[in-house]
Amino acid sequence: MAPTDARDQEWWRSSVIYQIYPRSFADSNGTGVGDLRGITARLDSLADLGVDAIWLSPFYRSPQRDAGYDVSDFRDVDPLFGTLEDFDAMVARAHELGLRVVADIVPNHSSSDHPWFQAALAAAPGSPERARYMFRDGKGENGELPPNNWESVFGGPMWTRVTEADGTPGQWYLHIFDSSQPDFNWELEEVRAEFDDVLRFWLDRGVDGFRVDVAHGLIKADGLPDFVQADDEASMGGGAATQSPYWAQDGVHEVWRRWRRIVDEYDGDRILAAEAWVYPLDFMANWVRPDEMHQTFNFGYMETGWDAAALRAVIDDSIATFGAVGAPSTWVLSNHDMIRHATRLSLGEDTPQGHGVGPETPGLPDIDEGIRRARAASLLMLSLPGGAYLYQGEELGLPEAVDIPGHARQDPTWHRTEGERYGRDGCRVPLPWEADGPAYGFSPTGDAWLPQPEIYGVLARDAQLGTEGSTLEMYRAALRLRHELGLGTGAGAVTWDETPEGVLAHRVGDVHIVANVSGEPFPVEGEVLVSSHALEDGMLPKDATIWVRVPE
């Protein structure tokens, strides 16, 4: 049963949801890859941290060519992560601890190992089996050219040619991502009905909602017209202005309305949260209209640099724009696709989403400086009204792992671009739980599917727990206070104080939140509730945020 308490009523409007990346959270059996039992065993520490819910990246059956976002059975757990019984036990334990559980669902594509795709390969062009995916004849005299010029998000063409059953070169299939991730044909009722059933399968098992992968994909423009994504645009980005034929087509909203009706049939206020990389925010707000999803990840906020004026603008815009459709804004700084914010906010140069950083990247920040800024950014984020998302490890201040040798890298981006883009492995490195444990407490054998940097030992959870001033203690205090003081609640605009350039200050009742982004040291008075950096002679230096109580 889902947790029930006073927060039940539309709990998602102000919740803090913690993203677990199962491969890298905790490994119970020493394979070097995290698993469900590992998660269950560590759930107490998340309840102790003070989050409301967990969102798990995919744990379904998968050949793991895109770290589980390539699903071959949507109704089973991959043996790498455990069994359905392990899943049930995990959900039961989470609910016992008052944590809701959000699953990740991946509707845009399946794995090429999925029985439907295998059947499509074996069947003839024009067959019902092929109709479930996006098969097309090639161009050129013998069909030797791809059907159009689209480029995969991970680099290289978005099409792969198959060999027909008689051994001749045949049709092409579309894959927005890796060639092992063929796109479904969402025009087909059979595909829609299949996903209705998958949703019910997990809702019946007790999940409290879904994070919906690539929620701006699924539907493609009629005729699949040629299109080139601008170089300076995030490869996942679709917007009202760019009119990409494979992102953000109107037809997706029909699907989300259908899904909303399904989750609404269940008790306990279950949610849908969209991963929709669309711009600008008022276009993104279409995903959270009252009969569609509950939340959408605010990537506009995530992609805003550490700049006071820009932050204030995106915060105001987000609250107003989502508010206009009756939805809460969300806030997020890190996830499994982005450079961790302890590195990203201090990078000398902008890096497009998904490209990652590595040893040759110019302008890599000093680690201490990066962490300091990240703490300030997190404390500002947690003061804002709406839902917040945390990504595992940010509560420890983990920076991006930069020095991963080429042979150890696993992200298909790295391989498909022949090392030109580092990809996303640097934010996916297994968590450090114990400074002195094998693989820093991640696995009993010391194995870890990606190498952990030494700094992870210093930042291990047990080294921070109970240590005054640690990042973990800052998050614990902030989450407790946020809840007690109702900081995330209230849909109204943020009331900003007059402040000098580079400083942001707002208040919620008698609590004043001051973020000195890049300004001169700024005087702060009042009872200190939590801070990312201690006051220096009553002044808040730059790259620091503080919450104080000032009697009215």
Catalytic (active-site) positions: 213, 265
Closest residue (Cβ) to ligand GLC?
Answer: 69
* Alpha carbon separation from 377 to 301, 333, 364, 475, 502 (Å, rounded): 11, 8, 18, 12, 13
425 lies in the binding site for ligand GLC (CB under 6 A):
no
Q: Cβ of residue 213: shortest distance to ligand GLC, in angstroms?
A: 5
Quote the Cα angle for 531-532-535, to 5°.
60
Q: Please report, as residue ranges, which positions from 315 to 354 form the binding site for ligand GLC (by CB under 6 A).
A: 336-337
**Which strands form 135-136's sheet, in the order they lie side by side?**
135-136, 169-174, 159-163
Which of 60, 135, 150, 177: binder of ligand GLC (CB under 6 A)?
177
Binding mask 396-415 for ligand GLC (x = CB under 6 A): --------------------
* Alpha carbon separation from 280 to 115, 470, 477 (Å, rounded): 38, 36, 34
Binding mask 52-71 for ligand GLC (x = CB under 6 A): --------------x--x--
Q: Cβ of residue 363: shortest distance to ligand GLC, in angstroms?
A: 25
Distance CA 352, CA 153 (A): 12
Which of 20, 77, 214, 380: binder of ligand GLC (CB under 6 A)?
214
What are the start-end ranges of the H helices in 359-443?
367-381, 412-416
Please identify, using beta-carbon distances, which residue of 277 and 547 lies nearer to ligand GLC: 277
| 3-state helix, strand and coil shares in percent for the chain, rounded to the nearest 5 | 30, 15, 55
Please identify, using beta-carbon distances, which residue of 269 and 275 lies nearer to ligand GLC: 275
Distance CA 510, CA 513 (A): 10
- Cis amide prior to 63 (ω within 30 degrees): no
Torsion 445-450-455-461 (CA) sign? negative
Please identify, using beta-carbon distances, which residue of 15 and 111 lies nearer to ligand GLC: 111
Q: Cβ of residue 412: shortest distance to ligand GLC, in angstroms?
A: 8
Please identify, using beta-carbon distances, which residue of 236 and 367 lies nearer to ligand GLC: 236
Written as one letter, the residue type at 198 is V
Please identify, using beta-carbon distances, which residue of 113 and 307 lies nearer to ligand GLC: 113
* Alpha carbon separation from 148 to 151, 177, 246 (Å, rounded): 9, 15, 12
Distance CA 499, CA 495 (A): 12
Which of 213, 269, 292, 395: binder of ligand GLC (CB under 6 A)?
213
Binding mask 259-278 for ligand GLC (x = CB under 6 A): ----------------x---
DSSP codes, 460-476: -HHHHTT-TT-HHHHHH
Please identify, using beta-carbon distances, which residue of 336 and 355 lies nearer to ligand GLC: 336
DSSP codes, 252-318: HHHHHHHHHHHHHTSSS--EEEE---EESHHHHGGGGSTTS-SEE--HHHHT--S-HHHHHHHHHHH
Q: Cβ of residue 71: shortest distance to ligand GLC, in angstroms?
A: 9
Q: Cβ of residue 178: shortest distance to ligand GLC, in angstroms?
A: 8
| φ/ψ (deg, to 5) at 530 | -160, 150
Please identify, using beta-carbon distances, which residue of 299 and 475 lies nearer to ligand GLC: 299
Q: Please report, as residue ranges, which positions from 275 to 294 form the binding site for ligand GLC (by CB under 6 A).
A: 275
Q: Cβ of residue 58: shortest distance to ligand GLC, in angstroms?
A: 8
Q: Cβ of residue 20: shortest distance to ligand GLC, in angstroms?
A: 14
Helix or strand holding residue 425 (H, E) = none
Q: Cβ of residue 244: shortest distance to ligand GLC, in angstroms?
A: 15
DSSP codes, 87-131: HHHHHHHHHHTT-EEEEEE--SB--TTSHHHHHHHHSPTTSHHHH
* Alpha carbon separation from 219 to 87, 136, 244, 250 (Å, rounded): 31, 15, 11, 8
Q: Which residue in this structure is represented by tokens 């059975």? A: 73
106 lies in the binding site for ligand GLC (CB under 6 A):
yes
Distance CA 506, CA 547 (A): 10
Please identify, using beta-carbon distances, which residue of 353 and 531 lies nearer to ligand GLC: 353
Interacting residues toward ligand GLC by CB under 6 A: 66, 69, 106, 177, 213-214, 275, 336-337
